[in-house]
Structure 1
Amino acid sequence: MAAPSSTRLPVGNKDFTHATVVIIGAGVSGLCMAIDLIKRNKTHNFVILEQSSSVGGTWNDNKYPGCCCDVWSSLYSYSFEQNPNWSRQYPGQEEIHAYLVGVAEKYGLYKHIRFNSKVEETRWDDADLKWKTSVVRSGQKDSEFGNSYVLESDFLVSAVGQLNLPRYPEIPGLDDFQGKIMHSARWDWSYDFTGKRVAIIGNGATAAQIAPEVAQVASHLTIYQRTPNWVIPRLDQPVSALEKALLKWIPPLLWRKRALQMDFREGFHSAVADKDSAFAQVIRDSCAMLLKTQLPNQPELWETLTPKYAPGCKRVIITDDYYPTLARENVSLETRRITGITESGIEVDEEDEQEYDLIVLATGFRTVEFMHPIQIYGKNGRSLGDIWKTGATAFNGVTVEDLPNFGMFYGPNTNLGHNSIILMIEAQSRYLNTLVAEVIRARQEGKALSLRPEPSVLQSFNDRIQAYLRQTSFADPNCNSWYKRDDGVITNNWFGTVVDYQRELSKVQWQDYIAEGSGKDRVVGKAATKVSHVNEETLLSDKSLIVGAVGVLAAAGYLVARSKRFKAH
């Protein structure tokens, strides 16, 4: 028998088609933004749209053999959710993905995430001062309820990042190959490459991780190299049970380990940004040493594998086993130009065809096409394509001209070549949550507020950082990289250190934004709002750390003893 109508909960679409904030992407950035919305703005009225069927972003997409991080595990994690239980100094994909799943579970984010939900278009409504995002359901059963809908929000956040859309090489005949082709970011684990003839096109960080794993079981592996990379040792090793216990039960040691790693990585900035720095020379010397010690009997490869561009112009490869893989009898390095792909293999120099069973495309991502293929229309219906017709730019890397109440993570000029990107993401999240706070408060007062960066301020910011970037190793004309466009303009990398970036985002200057709507008085003429950031550096001396650790242990001991006395009575 049905319950009386007075006891029924209301049913409707208000919470399904309306939200205060919509976040596109459930990777590292999207989860961080959501957690800060809860912690800093006390709001749970947000939706995360995720095209895949799991959280994790790039750590869910990239599941190729050997996939791991090239930043220390203690540093490649949220400052507010440090993990004392990493199994290795450099974690693998599975462990990082499990960490992110655990974070999503701990903070109750799953109830906010809509999986298999693809954003194709989003438009700003000038009259309502809201974003209207078109969502397509890609899940078979979900699509039976309705294959698309429009989700309205006061604020829109892009957390799709730079490493999400695979870049396929423009090689004639790519579709003609009758064997197996797979991109590294779309790995097909149902295919067994044991005993197969395998080709890897590309020799960057991804190829350097895949090659050692494939070479162990393939009958033959050929790596196609266009230009060599600077390679330095990873020196990876397991984290001992003793160290895990110390990090877990004495938190100051965990914090100290992370701070020391932060300091080292920040110091590494000069190695990848200044070709004449002492640290850059260390990279050159380290790479030369590795070549001679790991390929001692193949001096003909030393010059082939030594770059003729500055360290940092392309991503520095951190690995212990790439060069030893090239020394294997079943592995070849091919440096001749690929002229085409046939039904059975790869053709080089238009005359030599090599046959394969599997071709792996380790060719990276479409990094300079931020937000592609999502169609975005801002104020007055202006498209993002028009806004960025001369190149992608964003104020502080997070807000975009003529896109009101919009923020993006890992946007133009926020990538790093020396440190953990999560440090940048946390700074961006706190900055964006400061903007969101004013929009929320305006709505609570029954008003509407839109914020977009002043074009002149954005232009000044971009001119300043581009002037710096032109002096860095990233701009070396002797190499091409995913950091820059074909014309040499660097659209992806930040010019300085993480601390420099945190300082840049340490406050919101409200005069940097055009405020519109009935709630604009909240910010017009308002003094700058300070944005907090985590001090990750070693701010304490070792003596202070020891005193702090002793204090923590003493307090813990006191509480344990007190608990025992209480139970005794």
Structure 2
Amino acid sequence: MAARRSHTNTSVLIIGSGISGLCVAIDLIRRNKCDDFIIVEKGSQVGGTWNDNKYPGCCCDVWSHLYSYSFEPNPDWSREYSGQEEILCYLISVAQKWGLFQKIRFSSNVSKSCWSDSEGIWKTEVQVTGDKDAEFGKEYTINSQYLVSAVGQLNMPSYPRLPGLHSFNGKVMHSARWDWSYPMEGKKIAVIGNGATAAQIIPEVAKVCDTLSVFQRTANWVVPKFNTDISTVKRNAYRYLPGFRKFYRARLMDIRETIYQANVVENSEAKQELRQTALAMLEAQIPDNAELRKSLIPNYPPGCKRVIMSDDFLSTLNHPHVTLETNPIKTISSSGIVVEGEHKYQVDVIILATGFRTLKFMYPIKIFGEGGRSLTDIWQNGTKAYMGMTVESLPNFAMLYGPNTNLGHNSVILMIEAQSRYINAMISTVLGSVRGEKICITVKEQSLMGYNKEIQERLKRTTFANPKCHSWYKAADGTVTNNWCGTVVEYQERTSKIDWASYNVACTGGKIISKEEVQHIGRVVEETRYAQSALYATCGFFGLWLLGTCALRII
């Protein structure tokens, strides 16, 4: 890559170097042939949530071969569901391959970004947090033609408001800020929370602690994960028979898409089957404790909250040194936790498995768009974005993993790749200006409102909106803010083209540019189109390999 000519001016500024930020940067290189971009990262390494979360047992709940970029497959995943360290190593290797480290500025925290109406650029204020780097300037401003937010939904830990928490004399740590220097062996441990993160931590700390007390607010549906090692034979097949690997990924994609019916569609037959699977697992792993089983059966349908995938969470709760507490926490004392009914738990360490501030998109960055309008003002009546990416009054701006783009059934990387492709097409238009004129693209308010109304109406009929549970998927008023309403394929198809009628495209000074009504940009097709069994019966292994070679293509 060419050396940067200016430290403070760039065509594209990307905030965040997690999965989304890396994807946009790579697409800038391979689709737009653009290397004039900067990535600012508040942390000290790439990886986003996979760099932040380093707690014991941290693992993905999507198959490794599906939880990876389609354009950067990894034949060497060691397990069907890889752990945090392996995923982080994968992301580091991808960043290295594409030469992104020279584009990333670590320990660089974005405090504010303002759109300049007169200049047609974004001015983003960056605070340098690394001590040595800060010696050369703690604050500076980056000017960019286009601004991309890749900060994600799972980056700001949520700390519970528990009376007396600060008076506790023992160790307190959030799951996303794990202190590996603190020894857990022989300790009396309390875990507050029993969601997906807690379900991974609990079996690990239970192996070494004296006692473990789990404080449950609401029960969760738990299904088997079946996480196994990937044999050397399979890994060699994935490496030397790329068609076989592609077909395997396509089959995983198919399976995950079918889970949509069980996870999202209310009163579906598939949902009843999912419920029976979870109840059967509960019965098998806790066969001799009816009272404990009763405490672990949710009063809401599967999918309303994230379904937990685990092979050892339930059985761990049945260990004699592990206690499940369902009474609400009353207060935290200097030496432990007091629940309603005045029972007190003496503990040495409190682990907060309480998730993230998922409804605060872009928090705590302050964003100001056209006319100085703040993002807080824009979203005062609810968080929304057109296709989950573009926001009214914010020209030349897009976000990945934004409002209503999270999934409960499939790999979010499939969504991210579609978003990156869409955003890069818009960036191409902005960078394609001639005669020094700056092009500004802003989504029309009526287009955004119409889109949001449609998906919110659909979401009201999904399990996500079920009033029997509270989840990080939705706001206090019940509006589902985080999740997408359909399948991945539907989202990919909707974002495979840009409807320019939904945007205002203008040159600096307000001159409207006429764009073709719909621009087809295509999508990555990864789902299989034919029955595997029929193909194998007809053509044998070679046919399977041949179909796999065609399973990943652009249409």
Answer yes or no: is 1:509 the counterpart of 2:494. no
What is residue 217 of structure 1 aligned with on the other side? 208
Equivalent positions of 1:524-563 (< 5 A) are 524-540=514-530, 542=532, 543=535, 546-547=541-542
Out of 222, 238, 254, the residue aligned to residue 231 of structure 1 is: 222
What is residue 361 of structure 1 aligned with on the other side? 352
Change over 3 Å in CA distance of 1:185–1:551 after alignment to 2: closer
Q: Distance in 1 between matches of 2:547 and 2:341?
A: 69
Q: Distance in 1 between matches of 2:509 and 2:521?
A: 21
How far the C-alpha of 1:70 sits from its partner, in A, is: 0.2
Answer yes or no: is 1:199 the counterpart of 2:190. yes
How far the C-alpha of 1:391 sits from its partner, in A, is: 1.0
Q: Distance in 1 between matches of 2:50 and 2:375?
A: 27
Counterpart amino acid of residue 490 in structure 1: V
How far the C-alpha of 1:525 sits from its partner, in A, is: 3.9
Out of 277, 287, 295, the residue aligned to residue 296 of structure 1 is: 287
Change over 3 Å in CA distance of 1:545–1:41 after alignment to 2: farther
Counterpart secondary structure, 1:423: helix
Counterpart secondary structure, 1:301: helix
Answer yes or no: is 1:39 the counterpart of 2:30. yes
Q: Distance in 1 between matches of 2:512 and 2:242?
A: 41
* Aligned sequence identity (%): 51
Q: Distance in 2 between matches of 1:546 and 1:537?
A: 19
User: Higher helix fraction: Structure 1 or Structure 2?
Assistant: 1
Q: Distance in 2 between matches of 1:131 and 1:145?
A: 23
Equivalent positions of 1:282-293 (< 5 A) are 282-293=273-284
Is the contact between residue 199 and residue 356 of structure 1 (CA under 8 Å) also seen in structure 2? Answer: yes
Counterpart secondary structure, 1:84: coil
What is residue 181 of structure 2 aligned with on the other side? 190
What is residue 448 of structure 1 aligned with on the other side? 438
What is residue 558 of structure 1 aligned with on the other side? none
Change over 3 Å in CA distance of 1:521–1:267 after alignment to 2: farther
Change over 3 Å in CA distance of 1:552–1:526 after alignment to 2: closer
1:139-187 CA-to-partner distances (Å, cap 9, x unmatched) read 0000000101000000000000000000000111111111000000000
Answer yes or no: is 1:167 the counterpart of 2:155. no
Out of 4, 14, 34, the residue aligned to residue 23 of structure 1 is: 14
Is the contact between residue 244 and residue 545 of structure 2 (CA under 8 Å) also seen in structure 1? Answer: no
What is residue 560 of structure 1 aligned with on the other side? none
Is the contact between residue 507 and residue 513 of structure 2 (CA under 8 Å) also seen in structure 1? Answer: no
Gaps of 5+ in 2: 549-555
How far the C-alpha of 1:521 sits from its partner, in A, is: 7.0
Counterpart secondary structure, 1:111: coil
Gaps of 5+ in 1: 1-9, 554-569
Answer yes or no: is 1:426 the counterpart of 2:417. yes
How far the C-alpha of 1:532 sits from its partner, in A, is: 1.6
Counterpart secondary structure, 1:41: coil
- TM-score normalised by L of structure 1: 0.93
Is the contact between residue 18 and residue 150 of structure 2 (CA under 8 Å) also seen in structure 1? Answer: yes
1:367-387 CA-to-partner distances (Å, cap 9, x unmatched) read 011001000000000000000
What is residue 281 of structure 1 aligned with on the other side? 272
Is the contact between residue 506 and residue 533 of structure 1 (CA under 8 Å) also seen in structure 2? Answer: yes
How far the C-alpha of 1:531 sits from its partner, in A, is: 1.7
What is residue 123 of structure 1 aligned with on the other side? 114
Out of 494, 502, 515, the residue aligned to residue 484 of structure 2 is: 494
1:263-311 CA-to-partner distances (Å, cap 9, x unmatched) read 0000000111123112211221111111111101111112210111011
Q: Distance in 2 between matches of 1:314 and 1:518?
A: 46
Out of 434, 446, 467, the residue aligned to residue 477 of structure 1 is: 467
Is the contact between residue 199 and residue 224 of structure 1 (CA under 8 Å) also seen in structure 2? Answer: yes
Q: Distance in 1 between matches of 2:459 and 2:386?
A: 16
1:123-152 CA-to-partner distances (Å, cap 9, x unmatched) read 000000100000000000000001010000
How far the C-alpha of 1:539 sits from its partner, in A, is: 2.6
Aligned length: 543
Bigger drift between 28-37 and 535-544 goes to 535-544
Is the contact between residue 438 and residue 522 of structure 1 (CA under 8 Å) also seen in structure 2? Answer: no
What is residue 322 of structure 2 aligned with on the other side? 331
Change over 3 Å in CA distance of 1:415–1:249 after alignment to 2: same
1:40-62 CA-to-partner distances (Å, cap 9, x unmatched) read 11100000000000000000000
Answer yes or no: is 1:94 the counterpart of 2:85. yes
Counterpart amino acid of residue 507 in structure 1: K
1:311-334 CA-to-partner distances (Å, cap 9, x unmatched) read 100000000000110111110000
Is the contact between residue 229 and residue 307 of structure 1 (CA under 8 Å) also seen in structure 2? Answer: yes
Counterpart amino acid of residue 449 in structure 1: I
What is residue 320 of structure 1 aligned with on the other side? 311
Counterpart secondary structure, 1:142: helix
Out of 434, 438, 451, the residue aligned to residue 429 of structure 2 is: 438
Counterpart amino acid of residue 331 in structure 2: G
Counterpart secondary structure, 2:14: strand
Counterpart amino acid of residue 429 in structure 1: S
- TM-score normalised by L of structure 2: 0.95
How far the C-alpha of 1:506 sits from its partner, in A, is: 1.3
How far the C-alpha of 1:104 sits from its partner, in A, is: 0.2
1:489-522 CA-to-partner distances (Å, cap 9, x unmatched) read 0000000000010111111111111122249878
Change over 3 Å in CA distance of 1:203–1:522 after alignment to 2: same
Change over 3 Å in CA distance of 1:388–1:329 after alignment to 2: same
1:440-498 CA-to-partner distances (Å, cap 9, x unmatched) read 011x5411011110000000000000000000000110100000001100000000000
How far the C-alpha of 1:547 sits from its partner, in A, is: 3.8
Counterpart amino acid of residue 533 in structure 1: R
What is residue 144 of structure 1 aligned with on the other side? 135
Counterpart amino acid of residue 459 in structure 2: L
Q: Distance in 2 between matches of 1:414 and 1:275?
A: 19
Is the contact between residue 498 and residue 518 of structure 2 (CA under 8 Å) also seen in structure 1? Answer: yes
